[in-house]
Amino acid sequence: MGRVKLWRSMEKRVPLICLVLMILVIAAFLPLISANQEGDALHTLRSNLEDPYNVLQSWDRTLVNPCTWFHVTCNNENSVIRVDLGNAALSGELVPDLGQLKNLQYLELYSNNISGQIPSALGNLTNLVSLDLYLNSFTGPIPDSLGKLTKLRFLRLNNNSFSGPIPMSLTNITALQVLDLSNNRLAGPVPDTGSFSLFTPISFANNLDLCGPVTGKPCPGSPPFSPPPPFVPPTPVSPPVENSPTAAIAAGVAAGAALLFAAPAVGFAYWRRRKPQDFFFDVPAEEDPEVHLGQLKRFSLRELQVATDSFSNKNILGRGGFGKVYKGRLTDGTLVAVKRLKEDRTPGGELQFQTEVEMISMAVHRNLLRLRGFCMTPTERLLVYPYMANGSVASCLRERPPAEQPIDWPTRKRISLGSARGLSYLHDHCDPKIIHRDVKAANILLDEEYEAVVGDFGLAKLMDYKDTHVTTAVRGTIGHIAPEYLSTGKSSEKTDVFGYGIMLLELITGQRAFDLARLANDDDVMLLDWVKSLLKEKKLEMLVDPDLQNNYVESEVEQLIQVALLCTQSSPMERPKMSEVVRMLEGDGLAERWEEWQKVEVIRQELELAPPPNSEWMVHSTENLHPFELSGPR
């Protein structure tokens, strides 16, 4: 009888259990379903675009989600937050499916040849912070739906063929900091509101049919503009009194006092009217502020002095071989990082410096630190970058506060791939190619989403602009310098590959590339040698950063170590290119390359190290190392 009751009770509970299991399964697969929808939307965009240089070749819709695609950035929930396709020679039209990217924050499609209209579905991207569609061939009206993007801070639609009026709905975007609608075919009045009055006339320039106070062109049927009358102090009114010398003197004194106090106000008002919108305090005439290459701005020295509190030590973010970096706040409240180059205190070289700065500014990629502007005086060279909220990889690994959580293993993997993509872009997609020459954890910065951003690229060339000899001075950090660069002073993209391999070991171990503290344990001061000695003893677990507390995937650690050792081979010819490193990190070709290297290494050991019977497959004994040989397998 008891068994029958138990069975009937279970019969009643089975549907409830099934319902709970179904809910759990749906919850588990919900991120994948969402990611598939976003992937489908982006693949529809790809199908609608002409891609002559195969920039979108990694956009494979058979993958579970688009987070592994080039030019796509995701958050920790595998939702797309950024699409970077600027300057990619794309043509075709946008698709309404983009409105499905609900978490998208940055849509960068500038400097292409995309045509057609902006889909009104872009108004569904309510998390959008930046919409950059400038330098394309868009036509038609600006959608009124863009006014729903209340988080939008940067809207650049300049240099297209937009027509029609400026939507009044854009005035609802109170967060808007940058608006550029110049060089289009817009018509009608510019909305005369407080929010639009914040923008300069340049924001609306070269739209022949726009009118209104901001443009300086009156609209039909409206009275012409006239400047406000100058301030005239009111004539003091005195009560009627008898005509006496005392009354006349009193009236004169009162009028003189009124003029005396009014004069500063008149002068200040006149100065405010004459002052330009973007005021620079002490720039001589030959250094008038100007904009280079789109968004690259020339700052005045005084403006950066004010931003950094006269380069106060309390604002120092870091020091390096190129100079000091200061945290600064511009007059509009924007946080920036100001790099003060330390070697260029002698006059001369202004044109060459400016040329090199403009070359660096052309390197635009989501994994590269974008140059915002520069300052150049006869004795100062300063570069202005966006402020990176999470500092550098080195500071997060070794200088974080005790209460702050360490970088977890999935984030470290993402950093390794992102930094590889940034370096690959410098080597393969910049003309001329840019060699970093100081790749290390301290130069890999982290944005608010802990996305890797390669900083300080191009500075080695920038700092050598006045050198006349063929071989430049060796620049870099001990422990990261490739042996051929150290011995000859000649750098190539393969010197960056070596530095990247050492940076991978920093990510895995949490240790410095060169650390005298390891001598206390009779260990090697060079991180590469220390890693190889532990691998020789098969102590993989001792390599991994203790801060991870065993929360890592051993097979993935082994793969990253393999990539690091392939990158740090002593012969630059045998190191992979950064584009190959990217593919290996994505799971393509690492096993084959590693197996091939092992076969070659066995043959070399037999030929070169035949007398010593105890040589290992992975590490040469220190007696056989050349003094400059800081690299991996020979």
Catalytic residues, which ones? 438
Closest-CA residue to 546 (of 450, 406, 444, 413): 406
Buried b (16+ CB within 10 A) or exposed e, 595-631: eebeeeeeeebeeebeeeeebeebbbeeeeeeeebbb
**Nearest-CA neighbor of 422 among 450, 386, 397, 455?**
455
Two tokens at 169? 């709905």
Rounded Cα gap, residues 461 and 611, in angstroms: 45
Q: For residue 220, is the peptide bond before it cis, meaning its omega torsion is within 30 degrees of 0? A: no
Q: Which residues contact 449 (CB under 8 A, 6 or more apart)?
A: 73, 75, 81
Asked whether 370 and 440 are in contact (CB, 8 A), the reply is: no
Per-residue tokens: 411: 């984030």
Per DSSP, which regions of 321-380 are E strands?
Answer: 323-329, 335-341, 373-376
Tell me if 523 sits within 8 A of 381, measured CB to CB.
no
Radius of gyration of the chain (CA): 31
Whether 73 contacts 86, CB under 8 Å: no
Q: What sections of 275-403 are H helices per DSSP? A: 301-307, 350-361, 393-398
Q: Which amino acid is at 293?
A: L
Structure tokens at 434: 């840019």
- Count of CB atoms situated within 10 Å of the CB of 377: 15
Task: Identify whether the C-beta of residue 353 lies closer than 8 Å to the C-beta of residue 341.
Answer: no
